Amino acid sequence: QVQLVESGGGSVQAGGSLRLSCSPSGDTGYTISSHCMGWFRQAAGKQREWVSYITTRGTAQYADSVKGRFTISKDIAENALYLQMNSLKPEDTAMYYCAARSRGGCPTASEGYDYWGQGTQVTVFS
């Protein structure tokens, strides 16, 4: 079982930036670079929604709502996944989750991911 740990959330004024990080906890031997990795978010009272994913080859895709503002990346040496969030808006307020897929492909549906972190809260105030 792989446990992912997110960090970097917080409260920020609209227009500000945050960088979220995600890494496997413990010495599991799980390498982020070998798997499709995604970011999802869930606002209070709403369903979890896909934000971004990055393939094993480094190809990134984004939800339209964050395109041009968010950047997903991974650091092979650090075995870490990141989400750089710029020009934040109040509607970006949500719990953000890191997810990993153990099979091939890279979906946008949350059901397609096998391992999840506990989430990190992002609050954007106007």
In order along its 126 residues, the chain shows pLDDT tens digits of 889 999 999 999 999 999 999 999 876 788 998 999 999 999 999 999 999 999 999 999 999 999 999 999 999 999 999 999 999 999 999 999 999 999 999 999 999 999 999 999 999 999
Close Cβ partners of 27 (under 8 Å, ≥ 6 residues apart)? none
CA distance 29 to 105: 21
Please report the pLDDT score of residue 27 as a whole number: 65
Please report the pLDDT score of residue 29 as a whole number: 81
Please report the pLDDT score of residue 1 as a whole number: 80
CA distance 74 to 21: 9
